[in-house]
Amino acid sequence: MKRSKFSFILVLMLALSVFLVACTSGNETPPTEEPGTEEPVAEEPQNLSGPLTLSGSTSVEKVGLALIEEFMALNPDVVGTYEAIGSSGGIKNAADGVTQIGTASREIKDEEKAWGIEELTIAYDGIGVIVNPANPVEDLTIDQITKIYTGEITNWKELGGNDEEIVVVSREDGSGTRGAFEEILGFEGKLTQKALIAEGNGNVQTTVAGNPKAIGYVSFSSLDNTVKPLKVEGVEPTAEDVINGTYKISRPFIFVYKEENLTEPAKAFLDFVMSEEGQNIVEENGAIRVK
C-alpha cells in the first residue's frame, strides 16, 4: 500500500513537471536570428553594454519595442526597456533624465521645447478614411468625418452622396489605430453607439468593401484596392503628403532626449533607428518611414 502511494505521488510529480516545462518553454520564444544579421556588430570597435531606457507614447510602443528587440539582438550586452506611460510623461522623463529617450506620438509643444530637449522624428503614422468604391463621395473635411463618427451626420446626402444612411465602422477599444484616429480628430470616447466594430484593419476593409453605405478607417500600411480611400481636406492619403504635413489624419512618432543624458548605447540606438535596417523595422510595424 505504501509503495503504491509513493508511486502515485511520483506519477503526479512527473505530470506536474511535464506541465510546468510546457508552460515555461511557451513563454520564452528564443529570438531566431539568422547568422547574417549579426555581422554589423563587427563594425563597432567596442562592445556596447549597459541600460537603454525609453518611456512615452503607448502608440509608439510597438515600433519602439521592435526596434529595441532588434538592437538588443545585435548588441547582447545592452538591456533595453520601454515604459508606455503616454507622450507627455515620456517627454517629461527625457527632460528630467529619468529615461534616456522619451517618445511621443504628437508634435512637441512649445513649453516642452523650452526644457532644452532635442527632437528626432523617426516615423509617421497615417490613417486612411475609406468608403466602398460604389460611393460617389470623394473628399471629406476633418469636421465632417468627426461628425460622422460622433453620429451628428447620419446620411450620405448631407455630404453630397446618395440619400442613404451612413454605416459607421470603427475598431475595437484599445486598438492603436482607433486611439490615434479619435485623438487626431478630437472625439475620444464619443463614438456613436450605432457604429459597427470590426476586429483588425482587414475586417474593417472587408466590411466596407461589402457595404456601399459604409465608412471606415485603416492604417496606411493595410490599404488595398477593394476600398476607396477618401481625400481629407482635398489631400490624397499618401506617404509624401503625410511627411510634408498636408494630410491631416496623421501624426509623427518622435524621440526626444537631452544630449548629456545619452550613453553610448543610446547614441548607437538612435543611429540604428535612422539606419536602413531600423527604418525597415518601422515599416514592418505599420508606420511610415522617414528615410
Partner 1 sequence: MEKDMKLDKKNELKEKLAHYLFLFNATVAIISVAAIAFFVFYRGLQPFIPGNAEGNYNLIDFLSGLEWRPSLGKFGILYMIVGSLLATFGAIILGVPVGILTAIFIAELAPKWAKKIIKPAVEMLAGIPSVLYGLFGLGVIVPWIMQISPQAQGQSLLAVIIVLMIMILPTVITITESAINSVPDAYREGSFGLGATKLYTIFKVVLPAAKSGILAGVVLGIGRAIGETMAVMLVAGNPIAGLPKSIFSPIRPLTTNIAMEMSYAFGLHQEMLFATGVVLFVFIILINLILSRITRGSVLK
User: SS3 string of the chain?
Assistant: CHHHHHHHHHHHHHHHHHHHHHHHHHHCCCCCCCHHHHHHHHHCCCCCCEEEEEEECCCCHHHHHHHHHHHHHHCCCEEEEEEECCHHHHHHHHHHCCCCEEEECCCCCHHHHCCCCEEEEEEEEEEEEEECCCCCCCEECHHHHHHHHHCCCCEHHHHCCCCCECEEEEECCCCHHHHHHHHHHCCCCCCCCCCEEECHHHHHHHHHHCCCCEEEEEEHHHCCCCCEECEECCECCCHHHHHCCCCCCEEEEEEEECHHHCCHHHHHHHHHHHCHHHHHHHHHCCCEECC
Closest contact distance (angstroms) between CB of 27 and partner 1 is: 15
Closest contact distance (angstroms) between CB of 156 and partner 1 is: 10
Closer to partner 1 at the Cβ: 190 or 291? Answer: 190
Closer to partner 1 at the Cβ: 68 or 168? Answer: 168
Closest contact distance (angstroms) between CB of 7 and partner 1 is: 7
Closer to partner 1 at the Cβ: 126 or 176? Answer: 176
Closest contact distance (angstroms) between CB of 274 and partner 1 is: 28
Closer to partner 1 at the Cβ: 152 or 164? Answer: 164
Closest contact distance (angstroms) between CB of 225 and partner 1 is: 18
Closer to partner 1 at the Cβ: 148 or 266? Answer: 148
Return residues touching partner 1 (CB under 8 A). Answer: 4, 7-8, 11-12, 14-15, 19, 164-167, 172-176, 179, 188-189, 191, 193-199, 203, 206-207, 210-211, 213-214
